Structure 1
């Protein structure tokens, strides 16, 4: 399959009929793992010739595909009896395809998944509980930071292995700032200081200083943690209407002061595609992304980019799993599939091949090896920045609840209503809280 030219590492939204279709398919997928429960509990089956073919499915661009295929080829070199049926595509439509495969009884043995759906798939018993494997050493997570080792646990079961550490990054156009002799944003800058800084950039450089972050869930999440709240708490929302009103008011003030672009341009920046981020299209001096997207952003501009933490106390940031690999609970080759995950996560040679494409390697020994050998200056910058930010990481939150993708898309939809002036911050806050409660099934 061929991917979109520049898919994002972390899509920001899944809208409309795609979400409805996916939920119907996931509902249908519920019966498949139950029917295959016996297979999941038995030993691995191989073909008559003693060989095993594992199917594996992931999203990403062509570069990720080439690296992943090379790492899998290395596994086959060491385990000649194991081969792979490899399938990949761009982020857009990936989860529709995964839901279709799962519902149709053709789930891949190994598949990539992210925060949006790991709780949903785990809750439907689609994912194999990897806890016993990590307990007996077949899946070695001892070199993972604690925040990443536990990220992927849903209702006490390890539903996926974190394949890359990531964190929030405020990316800025250093070339633009240097041209106008403007200071760069700094880690630890307050939200008000950031907006004042952006207002000045707008006046001096005639380029909006910052993308409006009111629709960006990870920015909201960081801000909430700085207020002593969270995006989720147990099985409920971790915030109130008053919190969201304050968040929307913050950004209305920024728009009124000219610190951000106009709503039509803000909407462009809310797009999934990395190539449409305002920091690389020249329509804003900063964009709110994930730090591991720096190399991909750099491909879309000749300007020099820098990255700092989101505003406020950097301890509100955490070591986030950029994505996971999970094993299908109904696979006939569960032990072999787990061994592949263990290899991809912990083998030094595999680590050097995969690099930081999915984020910083979760295994700290492999991460240091990659950092010492990488030659790409953008990748070096990403590693250095994330390691620096990691010195101040706070505790990781729980994996997002089932319905998280809908919460994200509703935030974009309603924040844009406020940005265009069709709703007040208070009206938007009421609408968003109601929509988010529905999305996660909160009464």
Structure 2
């Protein structure tokens, strides 16, 4: 579950698979084309609650659905959809899936070209972007009318799908930030494990001691990691976004970069070239499993994937500082295309996949911890992977300490994330001071969200 984290980017082969489009500037051109969507929607539907074939429950319906993921997720999703068809024999599915890479280029192509799927997977990098263009159906009336039951969801998880007062997506799993540490390394060197609630200063001191004692850098440097920056900001009473603007200042960025420059100077982190490896690699090669650092900054549900790549025992805790800065984050959502003529059925499918015990047993934790807390308990009790059990236990414990969810990231969020990596590496490699990099980053981040 990354990006928001999800399945590994394995390109599947199936009769349902469509090849991802690619090419320089394609996504920009495609999303620009989405400006025309409201006109198309006006012709396709009269309001968000127009009737569809649900009025005739026996009429054959083919619902198109599009998601990303590897072959394992595809199999689980197809099996769950088959359960829906078993209970609703008139409804079949046109299923399309692919790896994460290129997924949003393809979604933009389909949406702009008038061939949008009725139901599609999306994450918080793009939810605001699609909602602001009126591509996503406002699901509020379905929720309020009882056709979409989110009563067993954590409130903050529901709210993390609201854009400009409209419920644009239903969270299809919960996740949170996790600091994964190498327990075997610590035990071997008779070193204490890090703990939830330790301050950032105490954590850096802990990492420095690991470096000196174990001769392995104590922690990956997270100054390029937006997740860590975001949590740190919330602990300062700030946020990544506020309304239609950035929720932080240039000085906040400089302070974040200074914090980690100090940690590097003390030897608490690896050198810049190794930090770069951790910045750009996939989950299977994070420094905590390649033996190049004692911790990595990931999503808590990625524990099992990390464990596949090391013989060492791993542990996971919250990020340093007050854990209430973390929140019940949607690992991903399902949204309904506003121009669909099968809206009611698409919403019913979301409701089924979210709340039906049989469907939940099939889907498991592939997309994160189930949003429905009753379903989550039954699924969690059946999990056999000990590392997933650890991740679930930690996330459940953290759930009691979660704060309110922030607003869904603004359009341009993916650029804000990518530019943080570039700016942090300018400091890591000594090419710019923290203040210089912060100034440049703040300007480009403002431009990315259309603020400047």
Aligned partner of residue 264 in structure 2, secondary structure = helix
| Kept after mapping to 2: 8 A contact 1:166/1:321 | yes
Structure 1's consecutive aligned runs of 4 or more residues displaced over 6 angstroms after TM superposition are none
> CA offsets per residue over residues 139-168 of structure 1, 9 Å max, x none?
111111110111111111111001111111
Are 1:25 and 2:30 an aligned pair? Answer: yes
> CA offsets per residue over residues 366-395 of structure 1, 9 Å max, x none?
111112222222221121110011111111
Residue 3 of structure 1 is matched in structure 2 by none
> CA offsets per residue over residues 287-330 of structure 1, 9 Å max, x none?
10111111222222222111000000111111111111001111
Deviation of 1:255 after TM superposition, in Å, equals 0.9
Residue 234 of structure 2 is matched in structure 1 by 225
Superposed, 1:187-198 pairs within 5 Å as 187-198=196-207
Residue 183 of structure 2 is matched in structure 1 by 174
Aligned partner of residue 28 in structure 1, secondary structure = helix
Superposed, 1:319-398 pairs within 5 Å as 319-398=328-407
C-alpha RMSD of matched pairs (Å)? 1.8
Superposed, 1:266-345 pairs within 5 Å as 266-271=275-280, 273-345=282-354
The match for 1:407 among 407, 416, 419 is: 416
Residue 40 of structure 1 is matched in structure 2 by 45
Deviation of 1:40 after TM superposition, in Å, equals 3.1
Aligned length: 432
Q: Supply the distance in 2 between the matched residues of 1:196 and 1:116 (Cα, whole angstroms).
A: 34
Q: Relative to structure 1, is the Cα distance of residues 397 and 361 closer, same or farther in structure 2, using a 3 angstrom cutoff?
A: same
Superposed, 1:232-247 pairs within 5 Å as 232-247=241-256
Deviation of 1:189 after TM superposition, in Å, equals 0.9
Residue 114 of structure 1 is matched in structure 2 by 123
Q: What runs of 5+ residues in structure 2 fail to find an aligned partner?
A: 7-21
TM-score normalised according to structure 1 size: 0.94
| Kept after mapping to 2: 8 A contact 1:25/1:100 | yes
Deviation of 1:281 after TM superposition, in Å, equals 1.6
| Kept after mapping to 1: 8 A contact 2:4/2:123 | no
TM-score normalised according to structure 2 size: 0.92
Q: Supply the distance in 1 between the matched residues of 2:23 and 2:253 (Cα, whole angstroms).
A: 26
Aligned partner of residue 239 in structure 1, secondary structure = coil
Q: Supply the distance in 2 between the matched residues of 1:60 and 1:278 (Cα, whole angstroms).
A: 24
| Kept after mapping to 2: 8 A contact 1:292/1:357 | no
Residue 90 of structure 2 is matched in structure 1 by 81
Residue 449 of structure 2 is matched in structure 1 by 440
Residue 5 of structure 2 is matched in structure 1 by 10
Q: Supply the distance in 1 between the matched residues of 2:32 and 2:53 (Cα, whole angstroms).
A: 28
Q: Supply the distance in 2 between the matched residues of 1:8 and 1:439 (Cα, whole angstroms).
A: 19
Deviation of 1:7 after TM superposition, in Å, equals 8.4
Mean Cα deviation higher: 177-186 or 23-32: 23-32
Deviation of 1:442 after TM superposition, in Å, equals 0.9
Superposed, 1:249-264 pairs within 5 Å as 249-264=258-273
